Amino acid sequence: MADRVPASQIETIVGIERHRTRHYARAVSADQTVYVLHSHACWDDPIPLQDCEFSLALTNNIDELEWAAYLDRPVPVLINEDGRLVPQW
């Protein structure tokens, strides 16, 4: 399960404002942690954020090679066929 980050801190940690429909993430190399910023649509959904498919994908870790060029910056994310978060770019 993913650890929850206070709403007052997550935009600062990820480095971008919450988007209306896109989820963003930031893989922070210093603490080897991936942070997900949920979209406004997800945030407004009655389903708890911990149960969002993007939160659940964090339990599958990430492919470090896919993320190598995107470390330490915000990037829109998708979930691949293996159930992992991947940079959308």
Instruction: Write out pLDDT tens, residues 9-66.
Output: 999 999 999 999 999 999 999 999 999 999 999 999 999 999 999 999 999 999 989 9
Nearest CA among 6, 61, 80, 10 for reference residue 39? 10
22 in any annotated domain = yes
The DSSP secondary-structure symbol of 21 reads S
* Range list of H helices, the chain: 7-14, 40-44, 53-57, 64-67
Residue 2 belongs to some domain of the structure: no
- Look up residue 78 and give its amino acid: L
Specify the number of domains making up the chain. 1
Task: Please indicate, yes or no, if residue 48 is contained in any of the structural domains.
Answer: yes
pLDDT at residue 89 is higher than 90: no
Q: What is the pLDDT of residue 3?
A: 72
Q: How far, in Å, CA of 12 to CA of 80, rounded? A: 26
- pLDDT value at 2 more than 70: no
What is the residue range of 55's domain? 7-87
In a domain, 46, yes or no: yes
Global pTM?
0.92
Residues 6+ apart with CB under 8 A from 18: 11, 37, 38, 39, 40, 43
Residue 42 is assigned to a structural domain of this protein: yes
